[in-house]
Every structure is written in structure tokens, then in C-alpha cells.
Amino acid sequence: MRPVSLEQLYQKIKRACPKQELVFGDGKPGAEIMLIGEAPGKDEVAQKKPFVGRAGKNLAEFLEASGLKREDLYVTNVCKFRPTKISAKNTVSNRPPTKEEILAARPFLHEEIRLVSPRLLVTLGNTPLHAVWDFSVNIGGCHGAAEKIMLEKNGYWLFPLYHPASIIYNPALKETYMCDISNLTVWVNKNL
């Protein structure tokens, strides 16, 4: 049965992933803008909220630059559990979700989008871009501009951005990223 509320959707995801510690979306149901990241990390699992800890700091910088307010948004991730790997030093660290994990999470994310019913999806990095659009597109080729997409017969605007963490690993992207955020602000002020 199709969930008719976010709560029902979360119960459905819990039944599908009984062994995982899950982090669901957070924010304003009915928000006009939905921000979609990749997957929770350690801090998110501890606090059961997306984009807290270091990622939350990166997100706060993004919000500051864009003029958006977290309380006006709905913030979620493609993957609701933390994908991990064991490093050579025998410590647990984050890894990006695999294609299979993204494909498995995709129907739940699409349900979440339908239930929140935003007008604009802001994706951060390739994982959410692949989950809402297509695996053949890459963030390098479409960042910083709005696209109209269809998800199960509903139309949404999509605004792909680099993931804020990628700017830390690749500082050369910072200027492009700031320019993309400024394009987003202009687009939001004009269209929402």
C-alpha cells in the first residue's frame, strides 16, 4: 500500500531495513524546497537528523550564502542508513552508497518527494542526482542551473549543486560552487 504520510513511509522503510539504524528526513512538511544529500554519517546516526555535526556546519555555510533558512526547507538523504567500510587501520568510515543501494532507496525517496510535494529539489552531489534523475547524468555537466524533471507523472524543478563536502576535498571547486549558489538564489527569488 502507498504511504499517505511521512510517518507511514518511515515505518515502511523501517520494515524494509530492520537491521539498520535509520535517519529520516527532517524539516517542514509541505516545504517548497527539498534539499537532498547522499547518506547520513556518524553524527547524523547519533542525533537521528540529517546534516548535523561537520556536514551541518557545511550546510549552514551553504544556507548563509544562499539566504535560505533551514526551518523553511525539508532536508533528507537518498540513503537512510550510514554506508560504512572498514579501513586499513581497522576503523569504520563512511563510503558513498553503491548503485544497488541507490536503486533500492530510490522508490522510497520518490515517495518522500511525493508526500512533501516541494516545487524545487536541490540535490547535493551525484548520488541524489542519480536517484531523482538518471545515472547517465553527472554533476560536472549540469550543476548550477534549473531543469524541469518528471517523477511519476509529477513535475518538479531540479537544481543540482555540488555536495558541500566536495568543496573541502577539492578547493578549486569553491568559486564554481559559490557561483552556483548565487544562481540558485536568483532562481528562487524569481520563481518561488
Binding residues for ligand URA, rule: CB under 6 A, are 37-41, 44, 50-51, 55, 77
Which grid coordinates belong to 108?
Answer: 522510497
Closer CB to ligand URA, residue 50 or residue 118? 50
CB of 114 to ligand URA, least distance (A): 21
- Rounded to 5 degrees, φ, ψ at 162 are -65, 155
CA atoms within 13 A of residue 139's CA, in its CB half-sphere: 20
Closer CB to ligand URA, residue 37 or residue 160? 37
CB of 179 to ligand URA, least distance (A): 21
CB of 155 to ligand URA, least distance (A): 25
Closer CB to ligand URA, residue 60 or residue 192? 60
DSSP, residue by residue, 21-56: PP---EE-TT-SEEEEES---HHHHHHTSSS-HHHH
Rounded to the nearest angstrom, the gap between the alpha carbon of residue 145 and the centroid of all alpha carbons in its chain is: 17
Q: What is the residue whose three cell numbers read 518522500? A: 112
Closer CB to ligand URA, residue 135 or residue 186? 135
